[in-house]
Structure 1
Amino acid sequence: MLNVPTLSPSLRENTLSLADNLTVMTDGVFSSLLKMKEYADLTPVVRLDVNESITFSARLWFRSILNGTPPSQEDLLVFQEFGKRRVHQGMPLPALLRAFRLGSLELWRGYILIAERNESLRGELLFNISPYLLEYFDEMAQLISQAYLKEQFRQARWRESLQHQLYGIIFTFPEETGEFHKTAAALGLDPSAPRIAFAVELPEADSNSPQFAQELDSVVSGIARRLTVAEDFLLRVWHHGRLVIWVPAVPGNAMNANDRMMAGRVAELREALPASAMMGVGLMGQGARGWASTADEAIRALDFGMRCDDGRRVYFYSDIVMEESVRGTDTTLRYLVSLIEQLSGDPDLLLTLETYFEQCQRRKAAASVLGIHPNTLNYRLERIEKLLGARLDDVGWTTKLYVALKLRRAGPRIALNRDA
C-alpha cells in the first residue's frame, strides 16, 4: 500500500497550479511518444485512446497527491483496461512502459520549476514528493504490466483455441463455409483470400520436446522473412507429423502465375529450411475446401520428393499434377500403363518413344540422340503407331503417351500410392 505524503499549504497550492495546466503536461508526453515508431504508426482512433489514457493517469496522480490517498480500486480497474487494450492494439510492452517513464519525468520537471521559484519547498520536494513519485509510478507500471501480460496470455490461449477450430473445419468439415469465414475473420485472416500451402518434413523435430514449438516457430519465421511476408499472415499447424503452413497468394493472379512465382523463389525456400528438412508446395486454393486441397497437394508433393530423394528438397505439386490426377482413377491408370506394356517386349521401341518425347517430338534430333538413321526412326514410330493404334500427329494421343511414360518412370511409386 502506498503511503501518500501530506502536502504543505504552499506545495498544495503549487500542485493545484500544475493540475490546472494538465493539458500542457500531457501534450508534452504525447508529443514525445509520437517520436517512437510504435506510436507514430498507430491509427487515429488508437492515438486518441493513448492520449486519453495519459490524461487519465495524470489526473489519477494529482487526485492521489492532493487527497492524500492511493488510487481507488475502481480507478485502478479502469487503469488496467488501458494495458489490456494495448495488447489488442499491437503495442509492445516496452513502448507502453515508456509512456510511464515520460509521464513521471514530465511531472518531476514541473516540480523542479516549482523548486526553482520556491527555495523553501526544495526539501519537501526532495525528501517527500520525489520518493513517492518514484514509488507511485513503479507500482502503477507493475500493475499495468501484469494486466498487459495476463491479457496477452489470455489472447494467446484464445487464438490457439480458434486456430484449432479453424484447422478442424479445414481438414474435417470444409463444407462448413459459414463457420470457416467466421473463425478466420475472428483470427484477423481474410477468409476469401487465396493461399498456397507448404508441407515440411522435419526429421529431427521431436513433438514431445519442450523446444518443439520454438523449432516450428523458427521455420515459420524463416519462411516469412524470405518471402517478405509478415509472420502474422502465415497460418501453421502440425498435421500428421508434418508442419503445414498456409502463405498468402497474390489475389487476382492465375493459379499458374502464383505457382511460377513460388518456383522462382525456390532457393530462398531452401535457405529457410533446416539442413535435413524437405518441403512440398501445393497449388493455390481459396476458401475452406481450397485451403484443404492445397494442404493435401503439398503433402503429396512432399511424399513424392521423399520417395524421389534427388536432393532438390523443395517439390511442387504442379510437377506431378498429371500423374496424381491419373492415379485418382483406377481405370485411367490401368489404361495408360497398358499402353506402355504393349511396347515392353521391344526395348528399342520403348527407348525410341522416350527419346522422341525428350527431344520435343523433333524427329531429326531424336534420331541423332539414338544414333540411327531418320528413316529407321520413322519406321520405329510407325511400328509404335500400328501396335497401339495411335497417331503421333494427334494431340490427344501424344498427351496420353507422354503421361504414360512419366508414370512408367515413376515405377514402383505408382504401386505404393495405389496400395496406400
Structure 2
Amino acid sequence: MKPLFQTLVAAMQDALQPGEQFTLGFSAEQSQFVRFNHAKVRQAGEVSQASAQLRLIREGRQAEQQVTLSGDTPLDRQRLISALEQLRQTLPLLAVDPYLQLDQSAWHSLSEQAQPLPGLDQVLTLLDREAGDLDLVGIYAAGPICRGFASSFGAFGWHQANSFNFDWSLFHGNGQAVKANYAGQCWDADDFSARLRQAREQLGFLGRPAVTIEPGSYRAYLAPAAMDEIAGMLCWGGFSAQALATGNSALQRLYNGDAQLHPMVSFSEQVSGSLSPAFSDEGSPRLDVPLIQQGKALQRLVSARSAAEFELLANGADSYESPCALSLAPGNLPSEQILERLGTGLYISNLWYLNYSDLPAARMTGLTRFATFWVKNGEIQGPVSTMRFDDSLYSLLGSQLEDLTREREMILSTSTYGQRSTGSSHLPGALVKGLTLTL
C-alpha cells in the first residue's frame, strides 16, 4: 500500500496549480474476519480496502472529498485527479474559513510494526482445545492497518501495524453470559489460553443460584473492561479543548480547578508504542500528552481548528479531540489479591449502555451485565442480576477509590464501522469503597 500512496502524493504535487495547497490522507486494511457460534466457524472472509481523503486549500477556503481506491494505480491516480477538479470547481462557492490553520512544517514520520500474526489454524486449534465444548459466540479480526498523510508543504507520514482482536462471549444454559476479549500486536498462545480458561471459570460461577441485592452503595471491583466503558465516556469531549472552552466537557470542574480526582489517578494520551499513527488526520505530528496527573488536570487535547478559534497551542489532536490511545497509570493492587482485598462486595466484569445522567457533575449511569458476581469474605457466591448504577467520576476515581491494579490490560477498539479502528486503551482494574446502584 505504501508505494500506491507515494504515487498518489506525487500525482497531486504534479497536478497542483499556483496558489493551491493540498493535504492527502490515506487509510487501508487487509483484514481477516471469522465469526463463531458454539465455538465453530460459521463465516470467514477477507476485506481489502483503501481510501484517500483529499483536501484542497486556496485563499483561505478549503474543500475535501473522499475517494475509494481500487489498488489499480493508474485508475486510482485518475480518480484522484477527477476529485481534484471537482474541488477546484467547489472552492469559489465557499466562504473563507476563519479557523483554517495548517501545519506548514515538512515533518516526516515512519512506523512499520510488522509483528507476525498467528495463523488461523493456530487460533482454531487453541479455541477447540480450550473451549470446543462451550457455547462460544464471537468475532476474530486480524491483519495490517495502514494510515498515511502528506501535504504540499512537504509533510509525509506513514504508519502500518499488524494487530489481532478476538472478542467473544460464553453463554450458560440459563441464558447468562461471560464476555471476554484478547487483542494486541504480539500473539501469545499461553495468554490466549489463560484468558479462555478464566472465562470458563467465570461461566461456572454463573450456574450458581442468583444473588439478589437491594439498591444502595456497595464495595466493588471494576475489571479493566468495565473501566474501559468509563474511560470511553470520558473520551466524549472530556479532554477536548473545544468542549472545555464551550462548557460542554464532563471534566469542566476538574479543568477549572474546582474538583480533583484521587492522587493515584494519572491519565495520558500515550500514542508512542500504540496502534495509532504518530500524526493526526489534520496533518500534525502527535506526541504523548499528559492529561491528568495525580488527580489534577494538566493538558487538554487541542486540534488545529480549536487552536485557531480559542488562541491555544495545538498538540496534534484529531479534529474530534478524543484520545486515540488513552492510558491510566497502574496502582498497587496485585491481581491475585483482588477477591481478598474486595472482601465483601461486587465483582463487575463489564458495564453496559453508559450515558451521562449529569454532565457537569461527571455523573454516569449504566448497567452491569456480563459476569457480575457477589463476593463474600473473598469468595464468589453467585451471579447478581443486571442492575443500574448511577455515580460520579469524582466519587469512583476520587473519594471512593481505594486502589488500582498493578497489572493493566491493553484493550483495542473492536469497532469496524467502515474500517477497523486503531483506537486503544491501557487500563488497570479499580477497587472502590462505594458504587451506587439505583435499580
TM-score over 0.5 for the pair: no
- TM-score normalised by length of structure 2: 0.20
Question: Which structure dedicates a bigger proportion of its chain to strand?
Answer: 2
- TM-score normalised by length of structure 1: 0.21
Question: Which structure dedicates a bigger proportion of its chain to helix?
Answer: 1
Q: Which has the higher contact order (CA 8 A, sep 6+)?
A: 2
Q: Which has the larger radius of gyration?
A: 1
